[in-house]
Structure 1
Amino acid sequence: MSVRNESTGKNIGGQIEIANTSFTRMRGLLGRRQLAPEEGLWIKPSSGVHTIGMKFAIDVIGLDRKHRVVHLWNALVPNRITAVHWKISSVLEVPAGRIVESGTRIGHTLEMDTRN
C-alpha cells in the first residue's frame, strides 16, 4: 500500500503494510531492526501505540476515521507507550523523520492507496 499526504502532495511511504488482525496489530514492528525509507505499518483499529521491545525510533501519525491527522509523535524512541486518544481510529508507523520530510501536520488528510 502507498500513503500520500493529500494536503502537501508528498509521499509518506510506498511499502506500507496493513495490520488489521489481532495478531498483526499485536506483533506490529517487533522483531525488525529498522524500517527502510518507504516502509511502514498502518495499524487499524488503534488509538495508541507502544515501542516496548523495539530497536529503533519511529514517527507515528494518529488518524481519525476520515484519515485526517489528529496527533503526531516525532521520533518515538524504543520502550515508550503513547497515551490513548479517543479521536484516533488508526495509526501509521513510519521511519523517524518522515513526518518532517513530508510536511505532515495536524489537520492534514492522508490518502491510503491499497492498489499496490
Structure 2
Amino acid sequence: MKQGRFILQPERFCIWREVKVLNSFPQRLVGMLMQHGLPRGQAYWFPSCAAVHSWGMHFAMDIVGLDAQQRIVEVRRNVQPGGMVRLRGTRSVIECESGFPYPLEHWCGRRLEFEEKEVDYAED
C-alpha cells in the first residue's frame, strides 16, 4: 500500500503526516471499517473518488474533497456513521477522524502536495 504525507502549498506545511493511499476496489470498499479511531495526523486518501460511505464505521469523520490539481474544493465535518456523501467537483477524497484541528474550510482553493514515502514492509 502506498503511503506518504500531504503538504499545504505554498507554505509547505504538513497537514497529515501519515496518509495511506487506497487504490484497489477491496481497499476502497473496506476503507476504515476495521478502525475504531485514527490518531491525529493520520488520514486515508482515495484517489479517483467523489463519494464515500460511512456504513459500518465506528466513529465520525472529516472528509476533504480535492479536484484534479489536488486543490481543496469541499470539506465536510463530523460525518456520522451510516450514510453516504458525494462531493461535487471532486476527483479524490481524504478521510480523517472528526475534529481535525486545522481550518480546512479556510483553505478551499489551496493545493495539497502528496509526498510518497518508502514503506518498510518488514515492520507491518
Do Structure 1 and Structure 2 share a fold, with TM-score over 0.5? Answer: yes
Compared with structure 1, are the counterparts of its residues 67 and 82 closer, same or farther at alpha carbon in structure 2 (3 Å cutoff)? same
Compared with structure 1, are the counterparts of its residues 10 and 75 closer, same or farther at alpha carbon in structure 2 (3 Å cutoff)? farther
Alignment correspondent of 2:90: 88
The unaligned stretches of length 5 or more in structure 2 are 119-124
Alignment correspondent of 1:115: 117
Alignment correspondent of 1:40: 43
Compared with structure 1, are the counterparts of its residues 42 and 93 closer, same or farther at alpha carbon in structure 2 (3 Å cutoff)? same
Aligned CA-pair RMSD? 1.6
The unaligned stretches of length 5 or more in structure 1 are none
Q: Could you state the TM-score of these two structures normalised by the residue count of structure 1?
A: 0.87
Among the aligned pairs, what percent are the same residue?
24
Q: Could you state the TM-score of these two structures normalised by the residue count of structure 2?
A: 0.82
Greater fraction of residues in strand: 2
Provide the secondary structure at the position in 2 that maps to 1:102: coil
Deviation per CA, 1:30-58: give whole Å up to 9, x if none. 11111111211000111011111100011
Alignment correspondent of 2:63: 60
